[in-house]
Chain A
Amino acid sequence: MEGFFDWLEHTDLSQWIRGGSFAFPLILTAHVLGAGFIAGTGAAVAFRLLGVARGVPAALFERFYPVLWGALALNIVSGLLLLDAYPYKAFTNPVFYVKLSLVACGVYLAVRIRDGVLRAPPWQSPARHAILENSQILATLSLACWAGTLIAGRLLAYTYKWLLVGVPGGF
C-alpha cells in the first residue's frame, strides 16, 4: 500500500499541487468554503425543522438545496485533488475516516429530510405528529453530522502522523 501512495505522491499532478505555488492554498480554500456552505445550508434547514423561522414553509427550504449540492460537487473535486497531493497523510489518519463517515451520514440525512419531511409536509398528513417528531430527530442528527464534519476536517491539520510516505508529521 505504501508503494502505491509513494508512486501517487511522485506523479506530476500530485507534485504540482504540493509544489509551493498557488495551487494548494487555492484548492484548500475552495474546499473550506464549500464545506462552510454545505454545513451552513444544512444547519439552516435543521433550524427550520427545530422551530426557527416557522413563517417559512419548510417545503420551500428545498429551493436552497442547489447550494448544498453545488458546494458538495466543489468539495468532491477539491477533496480529490487534496487527496492526490497528500494521500498517505490522509489515509494514515483515523480522523480522516471519521470525517468521511460524517459526510456520508450528513448527505444521507439531507436526502432523508428532503424526501421524508420537506416533500411530505406534516400539516397535510394524517401522521402529523409522527413526522414532526421524526423531522426533529433528523434535524438534530444532521446538525451533529455537519458540525462534526467541520471539526474533524479542521482537526486533520493537527492529527496527521505522516506528511508523505517516509516523512513523519511531527505530532
Chain B
Amino acid sequence: MFTEPLNPEPWEQWIRASGLHHFISAYGQWLWPALQSIHYLGFSLLLGTVGLFDLRVLGMARQIAPAKLHRLIPFGIAGFAVNLTTGIVFFFGFPEQYFYNPSFQLLVTFVMIAGANAALFYVTPVYGEVKRLEPGDDAPLRAKIIAGTSLSCWIAVLVCGRLITFFRPPVFH
C-alpha cells in the first residue's frame, strides 16, 4: 500500500505535464463518461468470452467442446486491450486518485494474478489437455483450478474497479 506524499512525486509531475493529461483536463466533461462506458463494455466482453470458457471448463455446458468455444477468446483479449488503453487514460487524468487508492491497488494485483494464471494455462500441458476434450468430457482438476482462479480474479477486478470511487484518497490536487 502507498500513502500519498505531501508533494507530488516526480512520476506524478511528469504525468501532469503530459499532453494526454492536458487533453483529458480540457475535454473531460464528455471524454470521461464516454471512456467509462467503453471501459464497461470491454469488461462485459471479457466476462462473456473468458468467463463462459471458464464456466465450461468448470463443468457448465459440458456438451460444448472447449476447443470450439475457445474461438470466443480473441474477443475477450480485445476487450482487455480496450480496457488497458482506457484505463491508462483514466490514470493520466487523475494519477494520484488511482495510485494512492487501495481499491485500485487491489485491482492491479488481481489483473496481474489473472495474467500469471492465464500464462500458466497456456505454457503448461493444461491447455493441450483442455483442447483435446470432447463434447461431454469433464476437465481435469488442474484445469478447473485455473478456470476457477481466472473467473474469480476477473470478478474481483470488476468489484475493485467499481469500488475505486468509494476509496478515493482524501487529497485532491
Contact = CB atoms under 8 A, between A and B. Distances in A.
A17 B67 CA distance: 45
Contacts of A39: 41, 44, 48
Interface size on A, as a range, is 35 or more
B133 interface: no
Nearest to B33: A158
Contacts of A56: 64-65, 68-69, 71
A156 to B, nearest CB: 10
Contacts, number: 103
Contacts of B36: 154, 157
Interface stretch (A3-11, A41-49, A112-120): A41-49
Contacts of A151: 37, 40-41
Contacts of A132: none
Contacts of B158: 29, 32-33, 36
Contact of A55 (B32, B44, B71): B71
B88 to A, nearest CB: 19
A44 B46 contact: no
Interface in B79-102: none
Contact of B63 (A32, A42, A63, A66): A63
Interface stretch (B49-57, B114-122, B137-145): B49-57
B60 A36 contact: no
Contact of B75 (A25, A29, A52, A147): A52
A60 B64 CA distance: 7
B163 interface: yes
A36 B45 CA distance: 8
Contacts of A91: none
B72 interface: yes
B48 A42 contact: yes
A36 B68 CA distance: 23
Given A36-B43, A147-B41, A43 B61 contact: no
Nearest 6 CB-CB pairings of A with B:
A40-B48, A55-B68, A63-B61, A40-B47, A53-B71, A39-B44
Interface of A: 25, 28-29, 32-33, 35-37, 39-44, 47, 52-56, 60-61, 63-64, 66-67, 146-147, 150-151, 153-155, 157-158
